[in-house]
A and B are shown apart, each in its own frame.
Chain A
Amino acid sequence: MKKHLKLLLTFFRYTIQTSMIYRIDFIVWTLVTVGWFIFTVVFYQLIFGHITGIADWTKGQIFVLQGFYFVTNFLFWGIFYPSLEYLPRKITKGEIDFLLTKPVNTQFLISFNEFSLNSFLDLFLGIGLMWYGFRLDNTAPSLFGIVQSILVMIIIAMFLYAGYFTTVCLSFWADRLENIVYFFPQIREFSKIPQQGYTGAVKWMLTFIIPAALIATTPSQFLFGDYNYQHVAILLIFAIMALKLSNWVFAQSIKKYSSASS
């Protein structure tokens, strides 16, 4: 554990150094993040000019929901994506050999060797959106609600990481599947609407088959004091299953891997 934390710190330092080398890129990406944030605020302000709520969620609550969407942006583009982005290309070029020989868990090395510094802004903007949402409704979350919401978010992060890693592992099995890295993050699009906004088979699918509708809804509900432990149980089961599946798929994928360079 200590070794892994030390490695994470080293990788994070490396991220800061590379971000400082490509400064224009860093500034442009920061503008992109801020641009999406401004768009989200303006978009929902305009929508709420026509309506008073979406699926019985108030304007403030919808902003809290969007805040959690930004937190998942941080998880994907800030933590998971920078390392996994080049995995398909590394497989094609046979560069996984170097990682397999290292005395550290290979899945860990593949998953967390690089971060994106400007995506950390998503985390702060997400928290800002939540704060704004509560201000609009003239309410505040309880400390108990905040702590539980953070714990739920950790479960969601586990689920998202494992699901993402498993899908990216498909590139071990199919040639040049470079765009697979953009596929799984798209399921979060469904979390932009509260789970209660879906009906019928779609609602059932997005709750029990792929719990995409719960990604932002459940932690938001905990902040509102609506402790939906049934949803947490669903997410926890999915997170554990997805983590086990990711380990198994990776083990099978490594057996399939045939170093292209040697």
Chain B
Amino acid sequence: MNTWKKFTTTLKAEMQNIFMYPGMILIWVIDMFFSPLVMLLVWTKIGQTSASVGDWSTQITSYYILLPIIILLTGAWNGYFFTRKIQTGEFSTYLLKPYSHLIGDLANNFSEKVLKIAFLLPITITCIIVLDISTPIKNLPLTFLALSLGFILNFLQSTLIGYAAFWLIDTSGLDNLVDIGEFTLGGRLVPFFLLPSFIKPAAAALPFRYFRAFPTEVLAGSLTGPETIIGFTAGCIWLLVFTLSCGLLWKRGLKKYSAVGG
């Protein structure tokens, strides 16, 4: 069986599984809206009293309305499940399967996204129409590339956190540390264009921006040509770093694995 067939077979199984629990998916979707919605309210309030922020009000609205869908499309949670498999020793069964555990993780990711999109897309489209947000169609191919880059980076980052469980057993704290980086420097709470100028170079050099903020900026059409090229280059460099790190941690982690309960 080739890799594609293995993937599609696993995907079918995951789809059947996920459609049994729509309640869980609906809660995740609602959850995705809370933080951007509150931040939109905060920045709108600030924009009413500050001219320097008020000038950005259109960009801020489109940014936070588009952010939940970008969070969904680029999201990855395989590290959480991988950690649980290490904790329970369930990972041992994956070592016997004739394909990489990453195929199963990808299938789970895509299957959950199908159902989440079904809930999230109508809400986002309604917001876009009601708030009259311009969506530049010409950016769609670039947006697709930025979204793909964001997803792969997120997936690899989550994989790295999962692999850390070979040593740490519980990686929830580490996961939250990465969250802080993403929320503060990755545009979840403060859009990149509103960051103070002395923080911007550091935020641009770190990987967090390329997880979600960069695809959102490309979709909202708020970047110039050179900014877009620099963004893609930096994202690709992090892609290389994450891929190499995953390979290294996987090799060393397997030697460390002691199959708890297995």
Q: Which residues of A contact B (CB under 8 A)?
A: 22, 24-25, 28-29, 31-32, 35-36, 39, 43, 46-47, 49-55, 170, 174-180, 182-183, 186, 189-190, 192-193, 197-198
B-side binding surface: helix, strand, loop or mixed? helix
B20 interface contact, C-beta 8 A: yes
B35 interface contact, C-beta 8 A: yes
Report if A178-B24 is in contact (Cβ < 8 Å); known contacts: A24-B168, A189-B38: yes
Q: Which residues of B contact A (CB under 8 A)?
A: 20-21, 23-24, 27-28, 30-31, 34-35, 37-38, 41-42, 45-46, 49-50, 52-53, 168-170, 172-174, 176-177, 180, 183-184, 189-190, 196
Instruction: Give the number of A-B contacts (CB < 8 Å).
Output: 90
Q: Is the CB of A183 within 8 A of B31?
A: yes
A91 to chain B, nearest CB (A): 13
Q: Is the CB of B177 within 8 A of A35?
A: yes
Q: Is the CB of A177 within 8 A of B180?
A: no
Q: How far is the CA of A5 from the CA of B177 in the complex (A)?
A: 35
Q: Hey, which chain A residues are within 8 Å of B174, CB to CB? A: 28
Q: Hey, which chain A residues are within 8 Å of B27, CB to CB? A: 177, 179-180, 182-183
B198 to chain A, nearest CB (A): 10
Q: Hey, which chain B residues are within 8 Å of A36, CB to CB? A: 180
Q: Is the CB of A50 within 8 A of B173?
A: no
Q: How far is the CA of A183 from the CA of B23 in the complex (A)?
A: 12
Q: Is the CB of A31 within 8 A of B46?
A: no
Q: Which residue of B lies closest to A187 (CB)?
A: B34
Report if A189-B34 is in contact (Cβ < 8 Å); known contacts: A24-B168, A179-B24: yes
Q: Hey, which chain B residues are within 8 Å of A31, CB to CB? A: 173, 177
Q: How far is the CA of A28 from the CA of B38 in the complex (A)?
A: 27
Q: Is the CB of B23 within 8 A of A174?
A: yes
Q: What are 30 contact pairs spanning A and B, CB under 8 A?
A: A25-B168, A28-B176, A29-B176, A32-B173, A32-B180, A36-B180, A39-B183, A43-B184, A43-B189, A50-B52, A51-B46, A51-B49, A51-B53, A54-B42, A54-B46, A55-B45, A174-B24, A176-B21, A176-B24, A177-B24, A179-B27, A179-B31, A182-B31, A186-B31, A186-B34, A192-B42, A193-B41, A193-B42, A193-B45, A198-B41
CB < 8 Å: which of A47, A49, A189 contacts B35?
Answer: A189
Report if A28-B177 is in contact (Cβ < 8 Å); known contacts: A39-B184, A43-B189, A192-B42: yes
CB < 8 Å: which of B23, B30, B31, B176 contacts A32?
Answer: B176
Q: Hey, which chain A residues are within 8 Å of B196, CB to CB? A: 46, 49
A142 to chain B, nearest CB (A): 29
Q: How far is the CA of A177 from the CA of B50 in the complex (A)?
A: 43
Q: How far is the CA of A219 from the CA of B148 in the complex (A)?
A: 46
B27, B30, B45: which has the most chain A beta carbons within 10 Å?
Answer: B27
Q: Which residue of A lies closest to B37 (CB)?
A: A189
A15 to chain B, nearest CB (A): 15
A112 to chain B, nearest CB (A): 21
Q: How far is the CA of A142 from the CA of B174 in the complex (A)?
A: 41
CB < 8 Å: which of B28, B170, B180, B189 contacts A25?
Answer: B170
Q: Is the CB of B184 within 8 A of A175?
A: no
Q: Hey, which chain A residues are within 8 Å of B53, CB to CB? A: 50-51
Q: Hey, which chain B residues are within 8 Å of A24, CB to CB? A: 168
Q: Hey, which chain A residues are within 8 Å of B21, CB to CB? A: 174-177
Q: Is the CB of B45 within 8 A of A50?
A: no
Q: How far is the CA of A46 from the CA of B191 in the complex (A)?
A: 13
Q: Hey, which chain A residues are within 8 Å of B172, CB to CB? A: 25, 29
Q: Which residue of B lies closest to A202 (CB)?
A: B41
Q: Which residue of A lies closest to B185 (CB)?
A: A39
Q: Hey, which chain A residues are within 8 Å of B24, CB to CB? A: 174, 176-179
Q: Hey, which chain A residues are within 8 Å of B169, CB to CB? A: 22, 25
Q: How far is the CA of A192 from the CA of B43 in the complex (A)?
A: 12
Q: How far is the CA of A182 from the CA of B172 in the complex (A)?
A: 14
Q: How far is the CA of A54 from the CA of B49 in the complex (A)?
A: 8
Q: Is the CB of B173 within 8 A of A29?
A: yes
Q: Is the CB of B38 within 8 A of A193?
A: yes
